[in-house]
């Protein structure tokens, strides 16, 4: 049987550099490191990378290969440039839908699971601030999705475009498009984290989040046009427009600003609510 | 140092209401520096609620709590810097190993040097007997091993105050003994405030006790004081014959606090509660035997243990 030893403590606090102060972000670095470890210290990141790269980049590759090999259906337009531009459409529109659903699915339990399991209470019994707990999750999921769902698939697409298909794609418009694309998933990430602080069950978090994503496919046909200005639904299309050199409609500019504001509001609500959480 | 400064924990009217139910009625609690204070009470008495309020994990409905003179609401991070806490049902990140868990915990307190942190982790694992399981994922740990890890993570930062919620609950007798030994070793450096249902343990290692019942403070103070203040020492005398005169003679003694009388099969049984054990030892039997018509068939000191006192004090004991 294992027993506790009778050794007296030998190390002392004198050997250790103690963290002092109780700032608003106390413990953030440690919490962020732990969050990232849960992704990059396991195979989870490889699985997610495959999930993001395989469907979008492979779909685009297959579509473009069909064009280049001439195996086009008779009614397909013959313009190769237009087809390559459509690759961006697939990337941003299909990818926008996928990242919205993906971030909600991945982050749905980020806060609720820790509340339910009791690990949040354990962490909060250490000298860590509550804002640090929520922000570490936000930053970690942002880094993970920015890398796995945006940067790497975008890099693969860029390589496909420039090196394989020799389509000259300017970097700056593409980067601006990706920035909008990123804002789109940040909206759903902030929403999911906020819902995680407000509800005690994952069903509500996932349900509300997914309803909003799916609503973006259906509701614009039935709602007044101004609603598009206050929702993030049009952002993937705006990202595509910017990347392909098309002008942004004023409504899209408003949607960009409002989505950014929504994201900040959601995070404020999440911080406020988690600050009042009773463990 | 004035008296209030010598208290590591000091609450004033601390209370908590959950959805209309008062889980903790206004509580004035004091725990002295370098003491081992047992926190007792039946299930639902409000022990865990109090602990969570002290740590800032929960917000009080009324009153205030000070730990190291700092307010639990406004300075909770600074308080937790100096506290080690073991929850009643401790939960950690299961994929992590014990070593990773302690490393994660230590990084809330220390920035380095890395080697010193690793040394501290190794030392703590050794202290709780988990050195040979240090690199196994926690999800395979037994309840007792989780509890040991809980104690390890609670004292990785050399806390000035250890708050342990049922530290020995999931342990076998050997593990329980080990926990008590660790607590006794740590008392030189640390104040220990712990809740438990195992009253033998409290009597063995604690120097003070707080008893809570139905969210209300029943009593608090040194263990010896609480036991003596609650009919602590009682002598039992069984007398054959008319014991009335003997009873009156005993009752007149200044060291006699109370006498409870019972009759059974012609014998009189006296439960004599006393305040001076030496005087009672020297005189009680003589006083009874002074009456030649009386025969003493039984004489002995009835030692009340903490469990008896606890049962007397909390409402459960009355039922």
Residue B319 resides in a domain? no
pTM, two decimal places = 0.83
Residue A250, min C-alpha distance to chain B (Å): 46
Q: Which of A43-47, B162-166, B222-226 has the least mean pLDDT?
A: B222-226
A125 to chain B: which residues are within 8 Å by CB? 55, 57, 80, 83, 85, 87
Six token digits for residue A123 = 């962490």
When CB atoms are compared, the residue of B80, B111, B130 closest to A125 is B80
Count residue pairs from A and B with Cβ separation < 8 A: 124
> What pLDDT score does B185 carry?
79
Do A91 and A153 contact (CB within 8 A), yes or no? yes
B152 plus B283 within the same structural domain: no
Asked if the Cβ–Cβ distance from B77 to A10 is below 8 Å, we say no
B29 plus B150 within the same structural domain: yes
B267 plus B140 within the same structural domain: no
Residue B179, min C-alpha distance to chain A (Å): 8
Closest A-chain CA to B158: A13
CATH assignment at residue B293: 3.30.70.260
Asked if the Cβ–Cβ distance from A16 to B117 is below 8 Å, we say yes
B275 plus B132 within the same structural domain: no
Asked if the Cβ–Cβ distance from A279 to B57 is below 8 Å, we say yes
How many domains is chain B built from? 2
Residue B174 resides in a domain? yes
Domain finish residue from B182, B200, B227: B227
Residue B315 resides in a domain? no
Question: Cis peptide leading into B113, omega within 30 of 0?
Answer: yes
Residue B135 resides in a domain? yes
Q: Which residues of A touch B (CB under 8 A)?
A: 1-13, 15-20, 22, 26-27, 29-30, 33-34, 38, 42, 117-119, 121-122, 124-129, 276, 278-279
Helices (H), chain B: 3-6, 47-55, 76-81, 98-106, 114-127, 143-154, 173-186, 199-205, 223-228, 244-251, 277-289, 306-313
Six token digits for residue B319 = 């039922």
Query: Distances in Å between the alpha carbon of B242 and those of B30, B237, B239?
Result: 49, 13, 8
Asked if the Cβ–Cβ distance from B120 to A11 is below 8 Å, we say yes
Closest B-chain CA to A37: B96
Break chain A into its structural domains and give their ranges. Answer: 34-275
Residue A109, min C-alpha distance to chain B (Å): 14
Whether A76 has a pLDDT exceeding 80, the answer reads: no
Instruction: Name the pLDDT band for B223 (thresholds 50, 70, 90).
Output: confident
> What pLDDT score does B231 carry?
57
B89 to chain A: which residues are within 8 Å by CB? 118
Tell me the pLDDT tens digit for each residue of A217-246: 888 888 888 888 899 999 999 999 998 888
CATH assignment at residue B82: 3.40.50.300
Mean pLDDT over each residue of chain A, to the nearest integer: 87
Cα separation, B6 vs B230, in Å, equals: 26
ipTM of the complex: 0.85
Domain finish residue from B227, B248, B269: B227
B71 plus B185 within the same structural domain: yes
Buried b (16+ CB within 10 A) or exposed e, B264-293: eeeebbbebbbeeeeebeebbeebbeebee
Asked if the Cβ–Cβ distance from B108 to A128 is below 8 Å, we say yes
Six token digits for residue A61 = 């590759």
Residue span of the structural domain in which B245 resides: 233-303
Residue B122 resides in a domain? yes
B127 plus B248 within the same structural domain: no
Tell me the pLDDT tens digit for each residue of A52-68: 888 888 888 887 777 66
Asked if the Cβ–Cβ distance from B109 to A19 is below 8 Å, we say yes
B194 plus B82 within the same structural domain: yes
B125 plus B67 within the same structural domain: yes
B120 plus B24 within the same structural domain: yes
Residue B308 resides in a domain? no
Tell me the pLDDT tens digit for each residue of A129-148: 999 999 999 999 999 999 99
Q: Which of A242, A249, A99, A257 is nearest to A171 (CA)?
A: A242
């Amino acid at each position: 049987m294992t027993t506790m030893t009778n050794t007296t403590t030998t190390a002392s606090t004198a050997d250790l550099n103690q963290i002092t102060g109780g700032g608003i972000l106390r413990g953030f670095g440690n919490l962020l490191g732990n969050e990232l470890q849960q992704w990059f210290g396991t195979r989870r990141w490889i699985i997610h990378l495959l999930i993001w790269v395989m469907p979008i980049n492979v779909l685009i590759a297959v579509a473009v290969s069909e064009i280049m090999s001439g195996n086009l259906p008779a009614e397909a337009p013959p313009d190769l440039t237009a087809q390559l531009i459509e690759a961006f459409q697939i990337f941003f529109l299909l990818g926008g839908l996928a990242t919205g659903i993906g971030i909600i699915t991945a982050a749905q339990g980020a806060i609720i699971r820790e509340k339910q399991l009791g690990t949040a209470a354990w962490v909060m019994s250490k000298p860590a601030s509550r804002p640090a707990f929520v922000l570490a999750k936000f930053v970690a999921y942002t880094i993970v999705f920015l890398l796995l769902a945006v940067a790497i698939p975008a890099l693969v697409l860029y390589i496909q475009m420039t090196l394989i298909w020799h389509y000259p794609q300017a970097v700056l418009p593409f980067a601006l498009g990706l920035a909008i694309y990123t804002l789109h998933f940040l909206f759903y990430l902030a929403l999911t984290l906020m819902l995680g602080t407000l509800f005690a069950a994952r069903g509500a978090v996932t349900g509300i989040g997914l309803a909003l994503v799916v609503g973006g496919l259906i509701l614009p046909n039935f709602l007044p046009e101004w609603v598009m200005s206050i929702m993030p639904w049009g952002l993937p299309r705006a990202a595509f427009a910017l990347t392909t050199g098309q002008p942004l409609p004023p409504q899209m500019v408003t949607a960009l600003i409002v989505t950014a504001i929504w994201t900040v509001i959601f995070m404020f609500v999440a911080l406020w609510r988690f600050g009042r959480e009773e463990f | 140092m004035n008296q209030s400064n010598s208290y590591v924990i000091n609450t004033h009217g601390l209370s908590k209401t959950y959805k209309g139910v008062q889980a903790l009625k206004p509580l004035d609690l004091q725990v002295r520096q370098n003491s081992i204070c047992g926190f007792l009470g039946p299930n639902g008495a409000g022990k865990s609620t109090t602990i969570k309020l002290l740590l800032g994990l929960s917000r009080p409905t009324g009153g205030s709590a000070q730990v190291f003179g700092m307010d639990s609401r406004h300075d909770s991070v600074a308080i937790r810097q100096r506290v080690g806490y073991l929850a009643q049902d401790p939960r950690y990140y299961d994929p992590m190993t014990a070593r990773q868990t302690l490393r994660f915990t230590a990084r809330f307190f220390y920035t380095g040097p890395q080697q010193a942190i690793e040394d501290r982790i190794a030392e703590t694992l050794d202290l709780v007997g988990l050195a040979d399981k240090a690199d196994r994922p926690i999800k395979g740990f037994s309840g007792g091993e989780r509890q040991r890890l809980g104690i390890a993570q609670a004292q990785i930062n050399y806390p000035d105050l250890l708050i342990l919620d049922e530290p020995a609950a999931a342990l076998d007798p050997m593990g329980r003994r080990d926990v008590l030994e660790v607590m006794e070793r740590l008392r030189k450096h640390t104040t220990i405030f712990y809740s438990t249902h195992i009253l033998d343990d409290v009597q063995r290692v604690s120097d003070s006790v707080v008893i809570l019942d139905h969210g209300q403070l029943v009593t608090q103070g040194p263990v010896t004081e609480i036991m003596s203040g609650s009919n602590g020492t009682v002598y039992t005398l069984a007398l054959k014959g008319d014991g009335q005169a003997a009873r009156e003679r005993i009752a007149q003694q200044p060291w006699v606090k109370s006498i409870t009388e019972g009759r059974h099969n012609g014998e009189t049984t006296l439960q004599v509660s006393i305040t001076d054990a030496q005087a009672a030892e020297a005189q009680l039997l003589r006083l009874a035997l002074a009456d030649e018509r009386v025969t003493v068939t039984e004489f002995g000191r009835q030692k009340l243990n903490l469990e008896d006192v606890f049962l007397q004090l909390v409402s459960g004991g009355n039922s």
